[in-house]
Structure 1
Amino acid sequence: MAETDKARADEARAAVVEAALGRLELDAKARLLAGQDMWTLPALPEIGLKSLVMSDGPIGVRGVRWTADDPSVALPSPTALAATWDPALARRAGVLLAQEARRKGVHVLLAPTVNLHRSPLGGRHFEAYSEDPYLTGEIGSGYVTGVQSGGVGTTVKHFVANDAETDRFTVNNLVSERALRELYLAPFEAIVANAHPWGIMTAYNQVNGTTMTEHHHLVNEVLRGEWGFDGFNVSDWMAARDTVGDIEGGLDVAMPGPRTVYGAALAQAVRDGRVAEATVDAAVRRVLRLAARVGILDGAEPVVTEPPASVDGEALAREIARRSFVLVRNENSALPLKAGTVALIGAAARDARVLGGGSATVFPARIVSPLDGLTAALPEGTLTYAVGADPATELAVADQGFSLRAVCRDADGTVIGTRSAPNGLIQWMGSDLPEGVTHDTLHTVELTGTFTPRESGPHTFGVKGVGAFTLTVDGTTYYDDVQRPDKDDPFEAFFGAPVPRAQAELTAGEPVEVSLTQVVQLPDDIPMKVVTFALAHSAPQRDPDELIAEAVEAARGADTAVVMVATTDRVESEGFDRTDLRLPGRQDELVRAVAAANPNTVVIVNSGSPVELPWRDEVAAVLLTWFPGQEGGAALADVLTGAHEPGGRLPTTWGSLTDAPVTQVVPADGELPYTEGVFIGYRAWEQAGRTPSYPFGHGLGYTDWAYESLETDGTTARVRLRNTGQRPGREVVQVYVSPAEPDTERPAHRLAGFAGAEAGPGESVEVTVELPRRTFEVWDDTAKAWAFVKGSYEITAARSISDHRLTATINV
């Protein structure tokens, strides 16, 4: 759309918004700013406004039902998307997610997460992109542009400095203005400037003593004032705590409902003279503007009238996955696999972990495990499988072998409704209840059905959730009591660990009856109506020494051993931070034993963020696959067999916890000082003079590249390079800028830009990388402004932060 046409359309929508606003009474306006349930805002028929529907992302669109009964495409994790170093690919991911949102009746996607990897211990880092603000901003801009090109809004989150999970509801993060501007605000600023998001989500935490939902300076003065953001501002779920503080601080919408600090409380605050009605009007105007943009306000033409062409979700998920895989080691060209036999080892190879835990969770219709993918790709009879070592130390939601349904009863025990249950998880939010069931009549929910074990022996069953439960297996009641939370977290029922409650001796292939009943009691500290609990299970545990011995024998008899190691939901998830970077269980021991038996050992690392790899120099190859989404196994087969090269580069530094420069994520007396200032990630590693296991930007392909020339005029860098290998490939040219003279106040190097280059064997290609003015600026705390720092700079074309190929010097 031409700029004049766009301006005309914006003016027309604005006129409709003003007319609608003028017809609203105070109570209706206040009600519109408060969630009516978990995911929606109320409809206002008097002005032709439909109910606005929001849904979690960022790797898929859940919809208003948090259940496997309503499947969603599951893309690779955000760390994987950032590892592609390809904003255009991020844009394509966004287009697909808009398509998914429209399919599910969703108007606003609660994504992307653009907080930074400040410390490797951040438990939710798989849901954010990178340690670098520029890379984060570029990938985030692509994502937002893609989603909104499909007519669906985004909410860039969590604004701001929500970089860890410990005490996330209350922590006061003490951050200098310079660090805020140069690091933590920078991705948000870039996305506002480049992609014009329709929404921002403010975080739980405080910044320098003020809760983010009440932060007038950062929201009204910086976000809206300096940057010109014109979208709506929604709270993180349950973050809004003060009616006057929130509305004066720039918060438009308090979620979820029905109990919030807005609604009737906000209308009363206006009547009492504590809030000006004009302040409420400004918030309502922004919500109506969003409604107009997504097409749910009568009389207003939506921004997108013709959605983009349909996207094949499975194909795109597979492409993103293989292009995100980072090959960090490949001795003697161990990959791609050569002809011969392969021993596949690891629990995660069979039961794949494709996404992170918490609110990023969706339920795909299918999951291709590594075992599935390699079985389909390799010649028949050449692949064997052994568990080796299982990293899971906890029960998992009942799934494989279970056939379940949910039965709802009233207080008299009368059945009032039923629903299918694809697995052992029940999560009904708001009005999402089985037909004929209401919260007023619902007394118990029973998950009931059969379990057919695939292994004989002692099977463990457990309960995830809070409340009164009765657990029965094969006619025996093992638990009939109240399960209480083990910490003061309103989301414990969602993210807490399952508790073992029964052990039953079962026979493979013989089905048994199972039942888990919860007495439904809606907790007072959660302002929305939610029914959530889960039946959990684990198969008989074999002797770990025997499992490792079996894996070693399989490896010894194969031409190549492929070992998959992984983290678990209790290592990386929303709601808690990590305490170390070790792989759980005996996986390190497994890798070392296999590598000793077969020198041609390839290790696949299935984690969303860095883990320590103490055996990395003892194996032939190491491939990082992040959480690769539903098609991860197929993508892995593509890369291991050489059908495609691994395309990823590290978006964050991998190293040991001992050497990591920034590790503090636990507050003291409620405060967490960001004492490192602007030195996080590779900036901090360089400042400390420490060498990580694998540096930021590192990644190998299946071909080689020669960097031939670098030309720069201070605003662009032109790099010519040649594919000197034997097969086509893609290189990520990274351009770093550093002061020519040592400067302890500024990072030694700073990522200024990057570009992908593709070429066939022997071909050369030139890429041009823009050097933004901001590259040469610092935030001046005294002047409260950006300062352009004149002087001499080195412009470096590199393969990673530590692999410099060409350097030029300029004066600016």
Structure 2
Amino acid sequence: MKYNNIIAKMTLEEKASFMSGKDFWQTQDIERLGINSIFLADGPHGIRKQAIAADKIGLNEGVPATCYPTAATVANSWNLELGEKVGEYLGEEAIAQNVNVLLGPGINMKRNPLNGRNFEYFSEDPYLAGKMAASYIRGIQSFDIAACVKHFAVNNQEEKRMTIDAVVDERTLREMYLTAFEIAIKEGNSKAIMTSYNKLNGTYTNENVHLLQDILRNEWGFQGSVITDWGGSNDRVSGLLAGNELEMPTTAGETDAEIVEAINTGRLDESVLDEAVDRLLHLVFTTQKANQTNSAKFDIEKHHRVSQKVAEESTVLLKNEDNILPLKFGKKVAVIGDFAKDARYQGAGSSLVNPTILDHTMNCFEESGIISIGYEPGFERYGKKNQRMIDKACELAKQADVVLLYVGLDEVTEAEGLDRNNMKIPDNQIDLLYALHEVNPHIVGIISCGSAVEMPWVDKVQGLLHGYLGGQAGARAILRILSGDVNPSGKLAESYPLKYEDTPSYHHFPGNEATVEYRESLYIGYRYYDTAKIDVQFPFGYGLSYTNFTYSKIRVDKRGVTFHITNSGDKAGMEIAQLYIGCQSDKIYRSSKELKGFIKVFINAGETKTVRIPFDDKTFRYFNVKTNTWEVEEAEYKIMIGASSADIRLESELFVEGTDAPLPYNKEQLPSYFSGKVQQVSLAEFEQLLGKSVPEANWDRSKPLGYNDMIAQTQYAKGAFGRLVYHSIVFAHWFLQKIGKRSTANLMKMSIFNMPMRGIARMTAGIVNMPMVDGFLMMVNGNLFKGALHVLKEKIKQKKRK
């Protein structure tokens, strides 16, 4: 241990208190030993340090900070240097706000396009997500503060996220859901990691020894600190035994007492606590140096320009029929769509940034050189139909050479704590598109949203740009691409299915009441569509340019692949070349191709560049469930270089020697997995893959409600009070939506409806303690007066202790 001399001077009570927050955002300080508090703040794409005191609970407005494009956006750049630059600027702003730990990046897989938080995650592919995350972390930590990569692990939905049990086989866990974290830890050297709320195969991730000890610490060699998600601690002592150092936020000493009691009764050895204290002290002392050695100011305008550069390189050109883009000089455009006036530039929830500057499309036209003849909103932002607005927009469109139509998803559709209801853009926007097409077919669509959407209307637009959520300078970035000042170079980091029903997890998202079954195994995103031969709207890795690139002269050796790219067009541009491998053996089930490398290169018009993508330790490996380790299958491997997963330009083969491991599967018992057609996997076949029975998927309504039951489950409560609580919440949610308070309604659903009962204590910073929760449970379970009296007595006791 590094800090034996300090730990030896700490009392048992001080060590226990150090394991929980001082308040909502700070760690505990111990003045007599020179241990100061450090500050943790949200910040995957901008610092959200709340402007009010750190002891105030809730998602409060942050101090102004640069709102960079979200992770889902930057992933489309496929540019690790750009990711590191974003990280550096985030780190610089964290220093300016005296933030020691930045809670990000988020790297959960996009298992399903309806996850309401997909805007905050990089990709459906673990290799791309891991590499991007590592680049962010290197940039953030170059300022001596800590990144905290999240949410570890298998947190792939927002619905019931604090109670759901993710049921997933070990190979899928390792290859699909942990690989990005492995890269973030090993290559990014993240100083901290945040556990997720959910259970993994029956155990809360924060108490999961296999996850936190066997894999994170023993296999990956992680030496940093494990931090709970806010209110994500179930059993504090079990968490400590598994390897969790810091519980956030404070519980006002309640869980400190549990740690002390566990040591006094022998449940917990004090040496385990000492090791946890040592690791957390290291985080405190090393990140405190940042505030002493770095500047306390940042250049607001410079950071805004960087945000614009990132947005420009991350925007994806999806369609460009008849080369409608870039807009020809002198073309008159009609600007239509509410998102043009009020930009949709970030997601909602804990990552909500208060921007330093905010560009809007209508304010940026003069410098763009594009001639606008006027603007009409065309639709109501939150979905209400309005024929008068459509008619006015059509009248304007008739006068234009080209219509710029800004459509997308509103702020409350994509939000933390909620999953989307469907993959559609609202009907009122599509009605507008069809009406505009009748009067002027020269339409360029600009989409603002952080995730995949269905596009059955795509034939009604000549051009289509997807800006995702481009941050505070995203509106200006889009105009620079439309005008031709910037050649688009983004490519999709996720697949766009033709319809939601085509997705591999369609039948198993967001799961049932108690569990979500990952029956599709490895086959998420392009791994499924390519293997099962399902057509998509736009494939993974797809994106157009204003120039053309040709590939030639592939050469493969044991250490990598070399090839040529020629810019055969008349404009300089950047191309993203992607390396996929496909094992030619059928002894172990695998997807037809897997991303194993990529590179982004700038090439002038007419120029040819020689490009090399090296192999690494992840190129040919698979996880063998019999040997419980990574192995290499001896086989011929197809080496593919593509402009997307569906556009393979060059192919070769390479024989790779294997590790001679036993075959992990009986092919006859897993026909769906060997065919890749996994949408309708039977329970029996899934259990064969798991090697055990699948747990009960529904809540047990025969038992009284307990600590880990959701507040939403009060609808089944035995006591009338419990059912009244449920219906009151439902009514309040409906009423808030009805009067236009959609964000507040969403916050209610996120922070109350889906919260487990223990969260009432864990998330209120000590205002409510667990004995009070006991009283509340008595009330909802049918003992109204006894429970109310119990709550009152405990509240009186709490006041006396203060």
Same fold (TM over 0.5): yes
User: Which structure 2 residues correspond to residues 699-778 of structure 1 after superposition, within 5 A?
Assistant: 699-741=543-585, 745-778=589-622
Corresponding residue for residue 503 of structure 2: 660
Corresponding residue for residue 513 of structure 1: none
Summarize deviations over 1:36-71 as a string: whole Å, max 9, x none.
111001211222121110000111011143655721
Corresponding residue for residue 685 of structure 1: 529
Amino acid across the alignment from 2:473:
E
Contact 2:639 2:654 in 1 (8 A): yes
Corresponding residue for residue 564 of structure 1: 406
Deviation for aligned residue 1:231? 0.4
Corresponding residue for residue 535 of structure 1: none
Summarize deviations over 1:354-384 as a string: whole Å, max 9, x none.
10011110110221012222344235x6341
Deviation for aligned residue 1:757? 1.2
Contact 2:304 2:357 in 1 (8 A): no
Are 1:629 and 2:471 an aligned pair? yes
Residues 260, 357 of structure 1: alpha-carbon distance in 2 compared, 3 angstrom cutoff: farther
Residues 307, 182 of structure 1: alpha-carbon distance in 2 compared, 3 angstrom cutoff: farther
User: Which structure 2 residues correspond to residues 449-488 of structure 1 after superposition, within 5 A?
Assistant: none
Where 2:537 maps in the other structure, the secondary structure is coil
More helix by share: 2
Corresponding residue for residue 653 of structure 2: 809
Moved more, 138-147 or 46-55: 46-55
Deviation for aligned residue 1:305? 4.8
Where 2:255 maps in the other structure, the secondary structure is coil
Are 1:343 and 2:334 an aligned pair? yes
Residues 67, 170 of structure 1: alpha-carbon distance in 2 compared, 3 angstrom cutoff: closer
Amino acid across the alignment from 2:74:
L
Moved over 4 A (4+): 66-69, 302-311, 741-744
Corresponding residue for residue 792 of structure 1: 636
- Report the TM-score when normalising by structure 2: 0.78
Are 1:366 and 2:376 an aligned pair? no
Deviation for aligned residue 1:570? 2.7
Which of residues 321, 327, 344 is equivalent to 2:311?
321
Residues 578, 69 of structure 1: alpha-carbon distance in 2 compared, 3 angstrom cutoff: closer
Amino acid across the alignment from 2:468:
W
Are 1:234 and 2:233 an aligned pair? no
Are 1:167 and 2:160 an aligned pair? yes
Which of residues 121, 137, 142 is equivalent to 1:149?
142
Contact 2:50 2:60 in 1 (8 A): no
Moved more, 255-264 or 199-208: 255-264
Residues of 2 paired with 1:180 and 1:391: CA distance?
A: 39
Are 1:332 and 2:174 an aligned pair? no
Residues 99, 76 of structure 1: alpha-carbon distance in 2 compared, 3 angstrom cutoff: same
Corresponding residue for residue 495 of structure 1: none
Corresponding residue for residue 600 of structure 1: 442
Residues 195, 255 of structure 1: alpha-carbon distance in 2 compared, 3 angstrom cutoff: same
Residues of 1 paired with 2:521 and 2:635: CA distance?
A: 23
Contact 2:341 2:360 in 1 (8 A): yes
Contact 1:122 1:163 in 2 (8 A): yes
User: Which structure 2 residues correspond to residues 85-164 of structure 1 after superposition, within 5 A?
Assistant: 85-164=78-157
Residues of 1 paired with 2:161 and 2:62: CA distance?
A: 31
Corresponding residue for residue 418 of structure 2: 576
Would you say how many aligned residue pairs link Structure 1 and Structure 2?
644
Are 1:74 and 2:64 an aligned pair? no
Deviation for aligned residue 1:29? 0.9
Residues of 1 paired with 2:565 and 2:632: CA distance?
A: 31
Residues of 1 paired with 2:373 and 2:368: CA distance?
A: 10
Identity percentage of aligned residues: 32
Residues of 2 paired with 1:60 and 1:382: CA distance?
A: 32
Summarize deviations over 1:434-477 as a string: whole Å, max 9, x none.
xxxxxxxxxxxxxxxxxxxxxxxxxxxxxxxxxxxxxxxxxxxx
User: Which structure 2 residues correspond to residues 223-372 of structure 1 after superposition, within 5 A?
Assistant: 223-259=216-252, 262-295=255-288, 305=293, 312-339=302-329, 340-372=331-363
Summarize deviations over 1:193-240 as a string: whole Å, max 9, x none.
101110000010000000011001110111001100000000001010
Residues of 1 paired with 2:427 and 2:644: CA distance?
A: 32
Summarize deviations over 1:470-501 as a string: whole Å, max 9, x none.
xxxxxxxxxxxxxxxxxxxxxxxxxxxxxxxx
Residues of 2 paired with 1:281 and 1:744: CA distance?
A: 44
Amino acid across the alignment from 1:371:
M
More strand by share: 1
Amino acid across the alignment from 1:764:
T
Amino acid across the alignment from 1:580:
N
- Report the TM-score when normalising by structure 1: 0.77
Unaligned runs of 5+ in 2: 52-58, 657-802
Where 1:354 maps in the other structure, the secondary structure is coil
Deviation for aligned residue 1:752? 0.8
Summarize deviations over 1:674-711 as a string: whole Å, max 9, x none.
00111101001122211110000000111111112211
Residues of 2 paired with 1:23 and 1:374: CA distance?
A: 64
Residues of 2 paired with 1:573 and 1:211: CA distance?
A: 23
Deviation for aligned residue 1:292? 2.1
Contact 2:505 2:518 in 1 (8 A): no
Contact 1:122 1:665 in 2 (8 A): no
Corresponding residue for residue 451 of structure 2: 609
Residues of 2 paired with 1:595 and 1:769: CA distance?
A: 44
Residues of 2 paired with 1:633 and 1:785: CA distance?
A: 47
Residues of 1 paired with 2:323 and 2:374: CA distance?
A: 22
Corresponding residue for residue 47 of structure 1: 33
Which of residues 486, 499, 520 is equivalent to 1:644?
486
Residues of 1 paired with 2:567 and 2:8: CA distance?
A: 63
Unaligned runs of 5+ in 1: 1-13, 297-301, 394-540
Summarize deviations over 1:554-606 as a string: whole Å, max 9, x none.
11210110101110133211111112101124111111222232222100010
Where 1:564 maps in the other structure, the secondary structure is strand
Summarize deviations over 1:144-164 as a string: whole Å, max 9, x none.
000000111011100000011
Deviation for aligned residue 1:307? 7.2
User: Which structure 2 residues correspond to residues 461-540 of structure 1 after superposition, within 5 A?
Assistant: none
More contact order relative to length (CA 8 Å, sep ≥ 6):
1
Are 1:675 and 2:519 an aligned pair? yes
Amino acid across the alignment from 1:168:
R
Residues of 2 paired with 1:304 and 1:736: CA distance?
A: 46
Deviation for aligned residue 1:743? 6.4
Corresponding residue for residue 207 of structure 2: 214
Deviation for aligned residue 1:89? 0.5
Corresponding residue for residue 183 of structure 2: 190
